Amino acid sequence: MVKVLHFYKTYYPDSFGGIEQVIFQLSEAGVSHQIAATTLSLSARGDIDNGRVGSHAAYYSAINFEVASTPFSLSVIKKFKQLAEQADIIHYHFPYPFMDMVHFLSRVDKPTIVSYHSDIVKQKLALKFYTPLMNKFLGAVDCIVAASPNYVATSPTLQKYPDKVHVIPYGLDRKSYPAPTDAHLEYWRSRVGDKFFLFVGAFRYYKGLHILLEASQSTDYPLVIVGAGPIEKELKQQAANLGLKHIHFLGALPDQDKVALLKLCYSVVFPSHLRSEAFGIILLEGAMQGKPLISSEIGTGTTYINIDNETGIVVPPSSPSALREAMAKLWNDPALASRYGANAEKRFEQLFTSERMATSYMELYQQLMSKRQSAKH
């Protein structure tokens, strides 16, 4: 049994973002590969030892304060050191600057791997101060994993570590999603219909929702938007100003509702226009349900999932007119939409299952442990 400690700033049930989803899928899928996962994160709920998420152990340290979206905790240093001593592999999830500090303060002497989820894009001033620590941290770990070759090719940071970088795409497990009942599907069908474009995600600056709303002007395509976030008020005001009549803002919804809407929708549209969007888990979820995809070319994993004119349509970023044309093309050609959807599901099964992700990580863990053993002898 290989004991792996995952460390990131947040985790279930405090936060349900894409990185948390990846940690969860990896931890659960690892069970069949003799991987015993433990997670460590920070929580506003305080210090919690040996909780459970799914079938794995979850530890939490109390947040003392937060700076630039980075939570800090004094108790996590001791807790990390204790858990690291019991682990065979330390698996970090980047970016989280305080994690780099904890790594050096704890003087970890175990094989270390970093899942590199995203460059730091928005906090340019903070990045200037953080860069020396970041470079020291990435230089110190044994291995760095990116989720797509597209991201490696366009990341200035990853370009510095060509010998350390591996590519392992994110993967999902169908069985980890709740199956909606017929009654549940009928409920949503009665509310939003059964031919609509679907967006699911946090309402953040880089998601391109303002572009999607502008693209929806002068069309009558039903658009269902699931999620919440800091710019929700502005988006609803924009929709009102544009006179959009076919928009359904449903708020944040539980997984069962999200899966029902994914099954019912005509296409998943994902207009993220900045590199802060490193992958796009909802694109994977759409592909898993056999839906045609629409996304923007931003040099990240979104275009590793969605191949233009194969699994859907890829448009230039920040172009409402191109997005509108893509929506019209799919809407008016059900046969094309169906073909793209079938191709998306096929690509999902080939590249993006949690089983494939876990197998690839297990091979990497074994390589790192063997290398460490060889170095000792």
**CATH for 68:** 3.40.50.2000
Segments in the chain below pLDDT 70 = 124-125, 376-377
Residues 54 and 341: their CA atoms lie apart, in Å, by 30
**Predicted local confidence at residue 377, as pLDDT:** 60
**Predicted local confidence at residue 278, as pLDDT:** 85
**Predicted local confidence at residue 16, as pLDDT:** 81
Give the neighbor-by-neighbor strand order of the sheet with 48-53. Answer: 48-53, 56-62, 35-43, 2-7, 89-94, 112-116, 143-146, 165-167
Tell me: do 254 and 271 sit in the same domain: yes
Which pair of structure tokens corresponds to residue 299?
Answer: 């040099």
**Predicted local confidence at residue 128, as pLDDT:** 82
Tell me: do 365 and 305 sit in the same domain: no
Tell me: do 167 and 184 sit in the same domain: no
Tell me: do 235 and 220 sit in the same domain: yes
Residue 45 is which amino acid? R
Q: Model confidence over 40-61: pLDDT tens digits?
A: 999 999 999 989 999 999 999 9
Tell me: do 162 and 185 sit in the same domain: no
Tell me: do 183 and 91 sit in the same domain: no
Which pair of structure tokens corresponds to residue 301?
Answer: 């994993």
In the chain, alpha helices (H): 18-29, 75-86, 97-106, 124-140, 149-154, 182-192, 209-216, 232-241, 255-264, 281-288, 302-305, 320-331, 334-351, 354-376
- pTM for this one? 0.90
Work out how many domains the chain is built from and give that number.
2
Domain around 203: 174-351
Tell me: do 200 and 275 sit in the same domain: yes
Tell me: do 331 and 196 sit in the same domain: yes
**Predicted local confidence at residue 68, as pLDDT:** 79
Tell me: do 337 and 199 sit in the same domain: yes
Tell me: do 161 and 69 sit in the same domain: yes
- Asked if 225 and 209 touch (Cβ cutoff 8 Å), the reply is yes
- 221's CB contacts (< 8 A; 6+ apart) are 196, 197, 246, 327, 331
Residues 313 and 269: their CA atoms lie apart, in Å, by 10
Tell me: do 159 and 195 sit in the same domain: no
Tell me: do 119 and 261 sit in the same domain: no
Please, what is the Cα angle at 306 between 324 and 203, to 5 degrees?
Answer: 60
